[in-house]
Amino acid sequence: MGGHCDTDDSPASFVKNPTIKFTKLFINGEFIDSISGKTFETIDPRTMETIARIAEGDKEDVDLAVKAALQAFDHGPWPRLPGSERARIMMKFADLIDENVEELASLDTIDAGKLFTMGKAVDIPHASSTLRYYAGAADKIHGEVLKMSREFHGYTLLEPIGVVGHIIPWNFPTTMFLLKISPALAAGCTMVVKPAEQTPLSALYYAHLAKLAGIPDGVLNVVTGFGPTAGAAISSHMDIDAVSFTGSPEIGRKVMQAAAASNLKVVSLELGGKSPLIIFDDVDVDMAAELAIFGILHNKGEICVASSRVYVQEGIYDELVKKLVEKAKAWVVGDPFDPKVQQGPQVDKKQFEKILSYIEHGKREGATLLTGGKPLGGKGYYIEPTIFSEVKEEMLIAKDEIFGPVMALAKFKTMEEAIERANSTRYGLAAGILTKDINVANTVSRSIRAGTIWINCYFAFDNDCPFGGYKMSGFGRDLGLEALHKYLQVKSVVTPLYNTPWL
């Protein structure tokens, strides 16, 4: 089941055990121990063994990092540099990322269980392109001249919001790090980043590269640690002006509460999803099967927009289900350094056990297990690709974000039924529509309450395309110029149009 592969003849074998160079906090341009001296383990999900011990930052360390960021914002050069100069440094940062792509990919593989080939060929190049995209915007930040209704001259300025806190998740350590810091850097902000405690390694390496690129001390600070301590300190800090968080709705609420109880800082939240993929019976079944299986198994299902709910029109249901099961059984699970492998281990023991518990819920609640459903091998957090059919909206596997390789299949008759079932969720991050009928595509895309709709494609991300959610998937947008503007303040400046005093 799942085509488990344990071969060790990968061309990438020379980076399977990279030297861990950076394990300390990065504050004010230096790698330092935490004030408490505490450390925590980061675990290789392939082996369940410790990779390294990482400095454990908490409130006192966040205070130190914020002090450095505030000093850099109030008195340092970064917010005052011409946009073209910020862009030049950001471009150099992107070049250094490209030059170190193999080491960075290997760090995300041993820390998060991500496919090495995917990291090297896709994730990291795309992340450096995001940095370049916002570098290109850094010298194009400007306000507008206002046509006032009275005898005044008015214009607006766009100014950096200040010190920003970024709290990032573990499923895409590289993507999320660059997704968050790039627009904030372009805007002229300074920042404190808390990577997920499960995956701190690449964030610290990116901090090192940022310094080499010439980003001034104090502009980019990385505090590794845990959510209830370091994360909470960022959310509640009186000198942090905005916080951007990606994670669960439960923690998103705590971030909002802390922001409100402190200095009413600006908050941006991306809180996951339970995304529907609606497949109409006029499509090519082979294409639909490819998209549907990739939509749930990519990154071992640890992706917020995974097509975890698949609704198939009854005319092709039986044929498509057969193809999905065949593809799931042939899906290769194993060592993420092996280029033949399609799915690595889940990120850690907690996530591994959570996914297995949801599979058991699916069985108990009456869904039909078509394939998978079990752990693979004796070592490592590997789970078989899993497909349930006959899934009803009230089942936990249809309601909750499992964040694993578990597909929930259901049959529908009419377009109206598909829309109703797709919207029967508290989430609204993304959705997919597969059809040859442009009228159906237009109607359904306008009817589904979600931030991104993919028609006859899936995971079609682009730097130009804003990304974020409706409903309990959060608010605010990453990517696109919308992300840049959330790190900018609008200031209005007004003077008399004529040399006449006004009271």
| Rg of the chain over all Cα atoms, to the nearest angstrom | 24
Q: How far apart are CA 416 and CA 312, in angstroms?
A: 13
CA distance 300 to 406: 9
- Rounded CA-CA distance 120/104 in Å is 8
- Which helix (H) or strand (E) segment holds residue 294: the answer is helix 285-297
CB atoms inside a 10 Å sphere around CB 264: 9
Q: CB of 204 within 8 A of CB of 55? A: no
Q: In this structure, are strands 375-376 and 382-383 parallel, antiparallel, or unpaired?
A: antiparallel
Residue pair 412/418 in contact (Cβ under 8 Å)? The answer is yes
Contact of 285 with 435, CB cutoff 8 Å:
no
CB 246 within 8 A of CB 168: yes
- Give dist(CA 450, CA 452) in Å, integer: 6
Across 273-302, b (16+ Cβ under 10 Å) vs e yields bbbbbbbbbebebeebbebbbbbbbbbbbb
Q: Report how far residue 1's alpha carbon sits from residue 361's, in angstroms, rounded to the nearest whole number.
A: 21
Q: Quick one: DSSP state of residue 216? A: P
Q: How many residues does the chain have?
A: 503
Residue type, 267: V
Annotated catalytic residue 56:
no
302/396 Cα distance (integer angstroms): 17
- Residue with structure tokens 């995971």? 459
Distance (Å, whole) CA 411 – CA 391: 9
Q: Where are the beta strands (DSSP E) in 262-416?
A: 266-270, 276-279, 309-313, 368-371, 375-376, 382-383, 386-389, 406-412
Q: Are 204 and 30 a contacting pair, CB within 8 Å?
A: no
Marked catalytic residue, from 270, 302, 384, 401: 270
Distance CA 240, CA 65 (A): 11
Catalytic residues: 270
